[in-house]
Structure 1
Amino acid sequence: MSKQIPVHDVTPPPAKGDRSFDLYASREKIYTRAFTGLFRRLRMAGGAVLFLLYFGTAWLSWNGRQAVWWDLPERKFHIFAATFWPQDFALLSWLLIICAFGLFFITVFAGRVWCGYTCPQSVWTWIFMWCEKITEGDRNQRMKLDKQPMSGNKLMRKTAKHSLWIAIGLVTGLTFVGYFTPIRNLIPEMLSGGADGWAYFWVGFFTLATYGNAGWLREQVCIHMCPYSRFQSVMFDKDTLIVSYDPRRGESRGPRKKTQDYKADGLGDCIDCTMCVQVCPTGIDIRDGLQIECIGCAACIDACDSIMDKMNYPKGLISYTTEHNLSGQKTHLLRPRLIGYALALLAMILLFAWTVAHRSLVELDVLKDRTLYRENQEGHIENVYTLKVMNKAQTEQTFVLSADGIDGLRFAGKQEVRVSAGEVLALPVELSVPPEKLPSSTNEITFRIQSVDDPSVHNDTPSRFIGPSIR
């Protein structure tokens, strides 16, 4: 009989009130401090452009309709002069792949700058933080206000903040739905109670989603919900630009007077003011090194540079740099991975642009009748088809239909049709051929369609012509 090795738990019991052994850590609210600087101005300029595009594009008109309109009931997707159909769905998939490769490229080159400057979660969070500042005050005032018992002043400030948050969320939700239901009609219909129930649902949903994500969850979305923070590390290398603290210059940290000879006292340039921590939207200390929570927004760079200015120290204690640079080695901007992503991205963009520019503006679908074949009065073998002609152009077109592939093939039915812009026309046709002309029982044929108004608009669709078995 084998003996078991005795196991004893030697973990010391936690002290009273000590929560260091808890598997769950409750969230600590982050109070960000106001700051100014170059990267903040860049972020504000970029955010303004994004806001203008998002909120402004929905109000643009093009040829009597909304310029950008995803008309789901009619299965039409209007983007200025172009109209896309479900048959063009592959283009959307292609576009998403291009965006993914663009994100990979920028991440290899400059880390999470997408997150810090252009991600909707970050942009809307910065706006909500600004609302917080103008209603409740700066960092210390907000911390003091939250510790106070409820009062008339506190209730008024909190109400003003949440009212602004809800208002921004409502405008965001209305604009989003306005890309699917023309916004010039949507708003009056919603105010009068005449809008569709789904419109109210989706406006409410996106209002609450914006309010919750940018107002309450904030950094939790970036840290725990966004998958990008998890797989970014596999795209980083030692030549990737990241926001980093220079420990060779900054250590040892410590407070000092502006006129103090801190070098003689063994101190570095970091005065341990924690300004970099106070402005961070995710609440991290960049001096601890690269962390998954860092979104590359450079708020800590602006804050640190302002302190360096006040102390008459050189800027750049915290900066966009690389691991190679921090260790005193040479940074390689051009490297195989970055070049590979760039070439793949460029090739996909060019192919996508060529495909969009040369896509056919007429769609021809061929449905063969269930009856395999029949013999007409002339003794010819006849097949029946239904042709569906879709005019994807912006104007009415006249099309000519034809079929070939077998000698002596005759086309019975309308060969010239006029189709309105965006119309789908179903057209029955019969093809016949003398039996002696049939090379086999199953024959490949091609239906052709071409616009009379614009010969460059054409399309071909293969089909089959069925006849009797030939022995």
Structure 2
Amino acid sequence: MSNDKKDKTSKQPKEQVIQLYQGAKRIHPKMAKGRFANLRILAILATQFVFYVIPWFNWSGRQAVLFDIPERHFYIFGLSLGAGDLIYLTMLLIISAFGLFWWTTIAGRLWCGYSCPQTIYTEIMLWIDHFVEGDRNKRLKLDKEPWNFRKIRIKFTKYLIIFAVCAWTGITFAGWFTPIREFVPALFTFQAGGGSLFAAAFYGFMTWLMAHQMREQVCKYMCPYARFQSAMFDKDTLIISYDEERGEPRGARKKNAKKEDLPLGDCINCTMCVQVCPVGIDIRDGLQYQCIGCAACIDACDEIMDKMNYPRGLIRYTTESVLEHEYTDADIKKRLLRPRVLGYGAVLLVAVIAMITSIAFRQTLEVDIIKDRGVMLRENNRGWLENAYNLRIINDSEREQVLTAEVSGFDEIMLTGLPSEGLKVPARETITIPVQVSTIPEYADKGSHPIEFRFTYREADSNETNTIVEKASFIGE
């Protein structure tokens, strides 16, 4: 072949394969050790104790915490809430929202790093990975190995443990909505209800999908909080930051090299902060929305700083104002006493006080007066005009209540249909009772007349009474 032909051949572009989509590579973070890692472990143990253990507690002969959706009744230790108390769910959501806003303004994404279920279950899955497959290097090496008996055995063991954790998580989740002491035996004897089975299977599957399969992808691409958190950040919000002024220029050096003799900053470019990050970012690139505030990079960097005999804090919890030398980390008042924090805190405090006060003074028995449209007006055997009503009585308490009633609105008026000794309303039940109100025809001329029901109720074994007043109307001739 001539030189001209060789030149033409060498100048031809090589064929390339361009992929429009490339799957995300599995991140294998190194296990971090340190004070913040210990705090995360404590947070996981505390939250999972609540989730896995609390449903097994009993309170006054029933499950201590139970959200009984079919019966439309919620039990939270000594507090019993019925369908009429859904307003408290709205108040709880408002409190949670403003609590998150307030906390994010002060401390950034500490919720994500220590308490978010996605973070917690991802951490549990990483523990399983580390326990079965080994540390980060061993896991990376195992993934590159061809499939053989050893790899199949290790992977099968890991997935067996993951399946057990996810299955029990799903069962526990269902146990918050159906009595768990009945559900678990029924599950293993194939007698559990379809709704409970679906809830357990769905939550267990989602635990596997989110915490094991997708992991950091949920935090990076699916979580809305990661997207709007910056709206609540300011220069005084506590965030995890790399001290660029101290760390740059970065570079490797010998351990015994004197710091003052090197034209380098404190960062030795070991990349340990990247290796321990569960979402795979480099904190040295600045604040990123993917950062969940778990502080694994702080523990890793502090360990390296200790080995190099450098002061800790190259990566630390701090604020932009501190990094810009407007004040120091110790000056916490300037960080807390600012309008945004005080505003969110005031709204949160008002909402909490309102909810506690409302629950403390709420009526445990409710009465709805429903006019019987089938009997608008009739004459009874005494010759009086009579209207018919249905009383829907809701007993949200866990004790039987005795109800008596009287009615007013005319000089001569009579209420019939209730026992003279009082109506017994069973605990946690709703009953409907037909009653009649009658008066002398001369008092009730044509049209609607306002009347008032006064209900008095007490616990069956108590003399302390409560009163409910409800307004209604009487149709005259």
Q: Give me the TM-score of the superposition, normalised by structure 2.
A: 0.91
What is aligned with 2:71? 74
Question: In structure 2, what is the Cα distance between the partners aligned to 1:229 and 1:82?
Answer: 35
In the TM superposition, residue 76 of structure 1 has moved relative to its aligned partner by 1.6
What is aligned with 1:8? none
Q: Does the 8 Å contact 2:106/2:335 carry over to 1?
A: no
Report Cα offsets for 1:318-375 as digits up to 9, x if no partner.
0111111111113532111100111111111111011111110111011101133223
What is aligned with 1:461? 470
Q: Does the 8 Å contact 2:237/2:335 carry over to 1?
A: no
Report Cα offsets for 1:388-412 as digits up to 9, x if no partner.
1222221112111122233322212
What is aligned with 1:365? 368
Report Cα offsets for 1:49-102 as digits up to 9, x if no partner.
111111110110112211111222222211111211111111111111111111
Letter in 2 for 1:340: G
Report Cα offsets for 1:304-328 as digits up to 9, x if no partner.
0000000000000001111111111
Letter in 2 for 1:406: F
Q: SS state of the match for residue 102, structure 1?
A: helix
What is aligned with 1:196? 193
Q: SS state of the match for residue 261, structure 2?
A: coil
Structure 1, 156-165 or 198-207: larger mean CA deviation = 198-207
Question: In structure 2, what is the Cα distance between the partners aligned to 1:362 and 1:458?
Answer: 10
Q: Is the counterpart of residue 430 in structure 1 residue 427 in structure 2?
A: no
Q: SS state of the match for residue 435, structure 1?
A: coil
Question: In structure 1, what is the Cα distance between the partners aligned to 2:14 and 2:69?
Answer: 61
Letter in 1 for 2:457: S
Question: In structure 2, what is the Cα distance between the partners aligned to 1:266 and 1:16?
Answer: 45
Residue 408 of structure 1, aligned match among 406, 412, 435 = 412
Report Cα offsets for 1:91-120 as digits up to 9, x if no partner.
111111111111111100001100000001
Question: In structure 2, what is the Cα distance between the partners aligned to 1:16 and 1:52?
Answer: 58
What is aligned with 1:420? 426
Q: Does the 8 Å contact 2:227/2:289 carry over to 1?
A: yes
Question: In structure 2, what is the Cα distance between the partners aligned to 1:456 and 1:323?
Answer: 59
Letter in 2 for 1:445: I
Question: In structure 2, what is the Cα distance between the partners aligned to 1:127 and 1:148?
Answer: 25
Residue 270 of structure 1, aligned match among 259, 267, 271 = 267
Question: In structure 1, what is the Cα distance between the partners aligned to 2:172 and 2:68?
Answer: 15
Alpha-carbon distance change, 245 to 124 in structure 1, aligned in 2, over 3 angstroms? same
CA RMSD across the alignment: 1.8
Letter in 1 for 2:99: G
Structure 2: gaps of 5 or more residues: 1-12, 328-333
What is aligned with 1:345? 348
Residue 395 of structure 1, aligned match among 382, 394, 399 = 399
Alpha-carbon distance change, 221 to 211 in structure 1, aligned in 2, over 3 angstroms? same
1:54-453 paired onto structure 2 within 5 Å: 54-330=51-327, 332-370=335-373, 371-414=375-418, 416-438=422-444, 441-452=447-458, 453=462
Structure 1, 449-458 or 40-49: larger mean CA deviation = 449-458
Question: In structure 2, what is the Cα distance between the partners aligned to 1:16 and 1:275?
Answer: 38
Structure 1, 56-65 or 417-426: larger mean CA deviation = 417-426
Q: Does the 8 Å contact 1:438/1:467 carry over to 2?
A: yes
What is aligned with 1:10? none
In the TM superposition, residue 167 of structure 1 has moved relative to its aligned partner by 0.7
Report Cα offsets for 1:162-181 as digits up to 9, x if no partner.
11111110110010111122
Structure 1, 92-101 or 427-436: larger mean CA deviation = 427-436
Letter in 1 for 2:143: D
- Percent pairwise identity: 45
Q: SS state of the match for residue 332, structure 1?
A: helix
Question: In structure 1, what is the Cα distance between the partners aligned to 2:357 and 2:196?
Answer: 36
Q: Does the 8 Å contact 2:448/2:474 carry over to 1?
A: yes
Question: In structure 2, what is the Cα distance between the partners aligned to 1:90 and 1:322?
Answer: 38
Report Cα offsets for 1:282-303 as digits up to 9, x if no partner.
0000000000100000010010
Q: Does the 8 Å contact 2:167/2:201 carry over to 1?
A: yes
Letter in 2 for 1:149: P
Q: SS state of the match for residue 335, structure 2?
A: coil
Q: SS state of the match for residue 114, structure 2?
A: helix
Structure 1, 159-168 or 67-76: larger mean CA deviation = 67-76
Question: In structure 2, what is the Cα distance between the partners aligned to 1:458 and 1:68?
Answer: 29
Report Cα offsets for 1:247-299 as digits up to 9, x if no partner.
00000000001222344332000000000000000000000000010000001
Letter in 2 for 1:419: V
In the TM superposition, residue 18 of structure 1 has moved relative to its aligned partner by 7.6
In the TM superposition, residue 461 of structure 1 has moved relative to its aligned partner by 2.3
Q: Does the 8 Å contact 1:451/1:458 carry over to 2?
A: yes
Question: In structure 2, what is the Cα distance between the partners aligned to 1:98 and 1:436?
Answer: 55
Question: In structure 2, what is the Cα distance between the partners aligned to 1:247 and 1:239?
Answer: 18
Q: Does the 8 Å contact 2:445/2:476 carry over to 1?
A: no
Question: In structure 2, what is the Cα distance between the partners aligned to 1:449 and 1:298?
Answer: 59
Question: In structure 2, what is the Cα distance between the partners aligned to 1:307 and 1:440?
Answer: 91
Q: SS state of the match for residue 391, structure 2?
A: strand
Letter in 2 for 1:464: S
Q: Does the 8 Å contact 2:444/2:475 carry over to 1?
A: no
In the TM superposition, residue 200 of structure 1 has moved relative to its aligned partner by 2.5
Alpha-carbon distance change, 446 to 78 in structure 1, aligned in 2, over 3 angstroms? same
In the TM superposition, residue 456 of structure 1 has moved relative to its aligned partner by 4.5
Structure 1: gaps of 5 or more residues: 1-13
